[in-house]
A and B are shown apart, each in its own frame.
Chain A
Amino acid sequence: DTEVTQTPKHLVMGMTNKKSLKCEQHMGHRAMYWYKQKAKKPPELMFVYSYEKLSINESVPSRFSPECPNSSLLNLHLHALQPEDSALYLCASSQAWAAQETQYFGPGTRLLVL
């Protein structure tokens, strides 16, 4: 199984809503990542989890709250988002947070904030 799954595929939310994005992998990977990608732009790193601990937070606003409940799951909790947060949110995993490790990406969640 070399797949990273993400749910939901699409999400529309208002600025006062609370929602969560979910990412799952069963490859035994110990590093997981959240990226944000705006249209026609490259992915931008948001968070890195290594062995279920937050290792990197790229100065992401607190309205995005990551959670890694176990080694297979990564959540991104969303609250009080702004329209400019509309984007494709990509999850990835790798064997470890280390050099020369291929990252495997999920299909993404397309988020629209109204």
Chain B
Amino acid sequence: KQEVTQIPAALSVPEGENLVLNCSFTDSAIYNLQWFRQDPGKGLTSLLLIQSSQREQTSGRLNASLDKSSGRSTLYIAASQPGDSATYLCAPETGGSYIPTFGRGTSLIVHP
């Protein structure tokens, strides 16, 4: 069974810092890995999807990398802003199930 761990569980930083959010997973036989953002009490917004054949994906200030063989993904957030405050969830999709397995998330607060 796929297990997903996200470190750190919580992060509080001043505005402008570059951030690194880590995700590790136990089953490296994944089809893809998605990073989601969730605002308190709200649904999930897909940020980036990295296919198993890719090493990284970029969208604006966000960059996600994937090292499938070591079971790790990293989300980089450049020049953080208060609007980035949310919980960030990592979700690898294990081969055969087509269903993402979610980590518990990193709760991020960016203060002005």
Interface residues of B, dominant DSSP:
strand
Q: Does A64 contact B (CB under 8 A)?
A: no
Q: Is the CB of B49 within 8 A of A100?
A: yes
Please report the C-alpha to C-alpha distance between residue A99 and residue B45 in the assembled complex, in whole angstroms.
Answer: 19
Q: Which residue of A lies closest to B48 (CB)?
A: A102
Q: Which residue of A lies closest to B100 (CB)?
A: A103
Q: Is the CB of A101 within 8 A of B98?
A: yes
How many chain-B residues does the 8 Å CB contact rule pick out? 23
Q: Is the CB of A97 within 8 A of B104?
A: no
Min CB gap B93→A, angstroms: 7
How many chain-A residues does the 8 Å CB contact rule pick out? 25
Task: Determine the chain A residues whose CB is within 8 A of the CB of B36 once the complex forms.
Answer: 105
Q: Which residue of A lies closest to B105 (CB)?
A: A42
Q: Which residue of B lies closest to A31 (CB)?
A: B98
Q: Is the CB of A102 within 8 A of B43?
A: no
Task: Determine the chain B residues whose CB is within 8 A of the CB of A108 once the complex forms.
Answer: 41-43
Name the contact of A107 in the complex, choosing from B32, B42, B49 (C-beta under 8 A).
B42
Question: Could you write out 8 A-B pairs with CB less than 8 Å apart?
Answer: A6-B43, A42-B89, A42-B105, A45-B99, A56-B99, A99-B31, A99-B98, A105-B46
Hey, which bits of chain B sit against chain A, CB under 8 A? 4, 31-32, 34, 36, 41-46, 49, 51, 89, 93, 95, 98-100, 102-105
